[in-house]
A and B are shown apart, each in its own frame.
Chain A
Amino acid sequence: MINIDIGATAISILTLFGIYSLMSISLNLEYGVAGLPNFGKALFISIGAYTAGITYTRLLPLLAGAEAIHPCGPTMGGALQLRSEIMASQPIAGFINFALTLVFAAVIADAVGFAVSYVTLRLKEEWFLALVLLVGGETVRILVRGADDFICSHNGISGVAQPFFFVADPRSRALLFMLLSLALALLAYLCSQRLYHSPFGRMLKGLRENEEVTRGLGKNISLARAQIMAVGSLMAAIGGVLFALNTGFVNTNDFVVNLTLDVWVMVVLGGIGNNRGALLGALLIAIMDRFAQIGAIVLNMGGSEIEFNYVRFIAFGLILLWMLRYRPSGLLPESRLTTDAHDVVRRVIGASK
């Protein structure tokens, strides 16, 4: 048997939980609240990761007062060493770079999300949006992978270190990053709760339930769609930045359709339309992910022939099917929302009887 370090496992689960929460809350806002089927989640997550890949190779050396080295090809090793040295010795440059990465990722994802929503105006049927986003995400991935200089095509960029890389003790370094990701997730949760209970959130729910009625009430539904796509994309991209920093690696192969499906499993599992459900889904998937990795190691050390990583995907598929069939509203269903008007109506009806 191997020894499982409980502290380290807990830290890694909670870090993943923070990152996954950003992704699942963003999908919950888009699909659960506004009814937009974003099957291109991997695209918006990858925007964050690619931004990190660019800033860490081009911007970070400049912030640290060094000359940027071309990150791909023969100078790859030198550039990697430069990144690591800067991250280890110049925390200020690392933090400024991290903050700027978040800002750039947010702005780019905002613009892309806003632009994509206008595609819906042209589509004949609503579900085409799901297909366009799915396919668009893969197209961008192939184009980025094909471009040699962008993030080094097939090789990807390694050494995308988290901002607390300068801390010597690995345990406290991981702990600080965990707190950072949890803090960002908490911020996203509070914002989306605020949004959910605002008049804007109610309009989005109206859009989800009946587009025609919402339009009939004089709401600008295409603008509302564009805004919620922008908000969701922003959160997903920030999740993508953290995702890249957590693995320390940016590679186009991480942003395939399976990642999109993972986020959908979180939302379907937790509860569609409920932000707390999205958090629960993210937590459960983070735990399952980590234990699947541990299980794979234990099984392989035990001499088992079965590749556990495949079993993980089968399990995810089964969970998804089970939930869709038996608990379509998720573990934490969206609560029924009543306003003052409901009470008045109920009192009037009660009085007339």
Chain B
Amino acid sequence: MPPALLTTSLVNTIQIGSLYALMALGITLTFSVMKLPNFAHAEYATAGAYAALIVSLSGALNPLVIMIAAFFVGALSALISHLAVFKPLEGRDVSFYTLILASFAVGLIIRYILFTMADYFNLFDLRIAIPLRVLFRDGYLILSNLFAWVAPTSLVLVFILTLLLNRSPLGREMRALADNINLARVIGIPVERVKNYTWLLVGGLAGVAGALWGLQTAVHPLMGWVAIISVFAAAILGGLSSFSGTILGAYVVAFSENTVILFLNVNYGVDLAYKPAIPFIIIIVVLLFRPQGLTKLIRRAGDLGR
């Protein structure tokens, strides 16, 4: 493989992998704390991306302002879906498949509300247009200020989230919920409040991930739905319980989707159209042969034990 192609794909791996990590951590958290595989998760990212796009179109081009708006919209849509849908269902002690189905329905509703809005205001495939500046150029490889935003922001957020989970009181309470919700309730942890905070956090991070995504490509109502399986693949590589495993999983998925497929394409002529199949294959292989994911390899304190 030509070195220029390799470097470009590795840069993509880092960028996309960081975004996957930001979203996949949310899925791992909701699954551990709420016992819910949330298929609507990526729609919070799309909602955040649209919030960012609208803010940027209204003239505010400071990336920080854009990301804060995305955080709020993502967090709000996550909290609303919890309060309106998941919480009443959890209260009724329904089957697991009912929750999966409900999360699909929530995703469908958010996605097509965004579709209707995008159609009405003609907001398809627009980029969040912060000014572009080239920071680094070497042959084919061009690093703009977008790269300086996307990867570091997500890495810092992932770091903060890990710290929050391991060191703060809220993180301790979240881990207690993940471990045993009844025990947590007995010792006086305000379970409902912790759940609300978890949803806000998870949705907000997804919203920021969506905004960062919109910075480098384009905003479309389907962008979250397209990414959800890759994100799930990352979370499943983390065994749906391990933070470090999920982060590693996100980069593994991004690496396979960017570098490995390119390698196969150049050396064995595998069509790039098969790229979307990669996360699917990862999920099936992991679920069948290593359902605990990468957890056993890198088990550390602070993992959400199950």
Contacts and interface: CB of A to CB of B under 8 A. Distances in A.
A139 B112 contact: no
A127 B288 contact: no
Contacts of B94: 324, 328
Contacts of A130: 97, 100
B89 interface: yes
Interface stretch (A85-93, A116-124, A157-165, A214-222): A116-124
Contact of A313 (B108, B274, B287): B108
B287 A310 contact: no
A139 B116 contact: no
B304 to A, nearest CB: 16
Interface in A307-343: 307, 310-311, 313-314, 316-318, 320-321, 324-325, 328
Given A135-B284, A314-B108, A317-B106, A146 B271 contact: yes
A5 interface: no
Interface in B283-297: 283-284, 287-288, 291-292
B197 interface: no
Interface string B93-106: 01011101110111
A172 B227 CA distance: 46
A317 B280 CA distance: 25
Contact of A306 (B101, B111, B116, B229): B116
Nearest to A153: B273
Contacts of A321: 85, 102, 105-106, 109
A142 B116 CA distance: 27
Contacts, number: 122
B120 A261 contact: no
B109 to A, nearest CB: 4
Contacts of A240: none
A207 to B, nearest CB: 15
Given A128-B287, A307-B116, A318-B109, A142 B280 contact: yes
Interface string B199-212: 00000000000000
B273 A317 contact: no
Contacts of A136: 280, 284
A320 B105 contact: yes
A127 B112 CA distance: 27
Given A317-B108, A317-B109, A135 B98 contact: no
B109 A123 contact: no
Contact of A132 (B85, B112, B119, B284): B284
Contact of A135 (B102, B112, B283): B283
Interface in A256-308: 257-258, 261, 264, 268, 305-307
Contacts of A313: 108-109, 111-112, 115
Interface in B72-109: 85, 88-89, 92, 94, 96-98, 100-102, 104-109
A145 B273 contact: yes
Contacts of A127: 37, 96-97, 100
B147 to A, nearest CB: 29
A317 B277 contact: no
Contacts of A261: 104-105, 108
Contacts of A126: 96
**Which of B100, B120, B271, B280: most chain A CB closer than 10 A?**
B280
Interface residues of B, number: 41
Given A324-B89, A325-B88, A314 B100 contact: no
A39 B106 CA distance: 16
A245 to B, nearest CB: 28
Contacts of B101: 264, 268, 320, 324
Contact of B115 (A146, A268, A310, A325): A310
A307 B280 contact: no
Interface string B264-288: 0000000101101100110110011
A187 to B, nearest CB: 28
A143 interface: yes
A268 B94 CA distance: 14
Interface string A135-156: 1101100110110000001000
A147 to B, nearest CB: 9
Contacts of B232: 131
A37 interface: yes
Interface centre among B37, B97, B113 (most CB of A within 10 A): B97
Contacts of A310: 112, 115-116, 119
Contacts of B108: 258, 261, 313-314, 316-317, 320
B96 A307 contact: no
A212 interface: no
A125 interface: yes
Nearest to B113: A314
Given A261-B108, A320-B102, A324-B101, A139 B119 contact: no
A128 to B, nearest CB: 5
A139 B112 CA distance: 24
B71 to A, nearest CB: 25
Nearest to B233: A135
A137 to B, nearest CB: 9
Contacts of A318: 105, 109
A208 to B, nearest CB: 10
Contact of A305 (B111, B120, B271): B120
A146 B274 contact: yes
B264 to A, nearest CB: 13
A24 to B, nearest CB: 15
Contacts of A320: 101-102, 104-105, 108
A257 B280 CA distance: 13
5 contacts: A127-B96, A132-B283, A136-B280, A305-B120, A314-B116
Given A131-B232, A143-B274, A313-B111, 12 more contacts: A123-B288, A127-B96, A132-B287, A136-B284, A138-B280, A143-B277, A146-B271, A146-B277, A307-B115, A310-B116, A313-B112, A324-B94
A-B residue pairs, 6 tightest by C-beta? A317-B109, A317-B108, A124-B291, A139-B280, A320-B105, A313-B112
